[in-house]
Amino acid sequence: SFNFCSGPAALPEAVLKKAQAELLNWHGAGVSVMEMSHRSSEFTSILESAKARLTRLLDIPDNYEILFVQGGASTLFAQIPANFVTDHKTVCYLDTGAWSAKAIKEAKKYADVIVSGSTKEQNYTTVPSWEELNLDPNAAYLHITPNETIGGLEFDDLPETDLPIIADLSSTILSRSIDVSKYGMIYAGAQKNVGPAGVVICIVRKDLLERSDNEALPSTWSFANLAKNNSMINTPPTFAIYLADLVFEWLEALGGVEAIEKVNEQKAARLYKAIDGSKLYSNPIDVAYRSRMNVPFVLADESLEQTFLAESEAAGLRTLAGHRSVGGMRASIYNAMPVEGVEALIEFMRDFESRYGA
Ligand code: PLP
């Protein structure tokens, strides 16, 4: 079967098998990674390996720090303004979908938020014009959500600005090449393209960390403090970090981000082509900004939705329901989804249309 869940999402089978083989006795240590001290040389080697692999995969420059943070990306929504507003009053946000909106809501608790551009009135089907953004040159940063997991909107080009750009890449990290040096900070919940839930991958420019060296912040919230302690102020989510390392290893063996990006492009292109070529299915997003990772679609006859979901599930195509806030269908096709999974879905959709379509 194929699992189209938006997260926690399918992990590469090879990674799960390796984890299974090492589950009770990691590299002859006699214990599972779950049972090891996070201060042990064994676990430290896992953490360092994960950092080294991620650095190679994303070509992360020396002036960035990798942090493993807990609390989910949703906690970062509050933690980011709490860390960075110290000597700035305002922060800028782009509002391009449900996850941007949640980030804005949390940021308002810590800072004066300027919504620099919003496509809410267009139902988040496109992105704001970069030329018309309302950017405060004195703001602490500009926050963006380059892949909106619920709406299925993705953008690659960054706004022109001198503000540090902070990007929530939860559902797109490692799926396409990025130039890390263009960002002040990148963060991503692991449970889509990286590993199991429980850890957020953060990549922060070192000069920004100075701002968060602030005694007023809770110790576990301060990015500067996390950096000083190699993400081990307290017990980190050790097993999640271990699995992330295995996923990074898998990705390196495949040829890295550039290699998987080609596969991801192909998978998405085929699925959107099938949707556009049908009378039953449609996707509302501006073609230039359709997500390669999350592909939502609706049925022309809504009354067929439950039948579609029941039959697809029975055919081994799992978790195709759209987010509870929007309904419809959504196929999440992250790195671990093989081309065959997308082909099986397209085949099922064609067959379904031939039986139920007008
Ligand atoms: N940001 C984006 C883009 C997401 O897709 C999600 C989860 O789906 C989150 C943030 C929230 O992540 P978490 O559940 O880890 O808080």
pLDDT for 51-85, tens place per residue? Answer: 999 999 999 999 999 999 999 999 999 999 999 99
What residues in the chain have per-residue pLDDT under 70? 87-88
Pocket test for ligand 1, best of 99, 174, 191, 194 (most atoms within 8 A of CB): 99
The residue count for the chain: 358
Q: Which residues pair with 170 in a beta bridge?
A: none
**Can you give the pLDDT at residue 36?**
97
Nearest to 266 by CA among 288, 296, 292: 292
Joined together, the tokens standing for residue 53 give: 């692999």
DSSP conformational letter for 132: G
DSSP conformational letter for 321: B
Q: What CA–CA distance (Å, rounded) separates 22 from 28?
A: 9
Task: Decide if 353 contacts 307 (C-beta within 8 A).
Answer: no
**Can you give the pLDDT at residue 56?**
98
User: What structural domains does the chain harbor?
Assistant: 13-254 (3.40.640.10), 256-351 (3.90.1150.10)
Q: What CA–CA distance (Å, rounded) separates 136 from 157?
A: 20
**Can you give the pLDDT at residue 324?**
85
Q: Does residue 122 have a known ligand-binding role?
A: no
Residue 54 Cα to ligand 1 midpoint, Å, equals 20
- Residue-by-residue DSSP string for 16-37: HHHHHHHSSSGGGSSS-GGGS-
Q: Does residue 40 have a known ligand-binding role?
A: no
The SS3 call for residue 312 is helix
**Can you give the pLDDT at residue 88?**
66
The mean predicted confidence, pLDDT, of the chain is: 96
> Ligand 1: which residue has its CA nearest to atom 3?
170
The SS3 call for residue 123 is coil
* Cβ of 189 below 6 Å from ligand 1: yes
Alpha-carbon Rg for the chain, nearest whole angstrom, is: 21
- pLDDT tens sequence across 18-49: 999 999 999 999 999 999 999 999 999 999 99
Q: What CA–CA distance (Å, rounded) separates 26 from 34?
A: 10
* Cβ of 291 below 6 Å from ligand 1: no
Dihedral angle, C-alpha 11, 12, 17, 20, nearest 10 °: -20
**Can you give the pLDDT at residue 86?**
74
Dihedral angle, C-alpha 114, 191, 333, 119, nearest 10 °: -10
Residue 74 Cα to ligand 1 midpoint, Å, equals 6
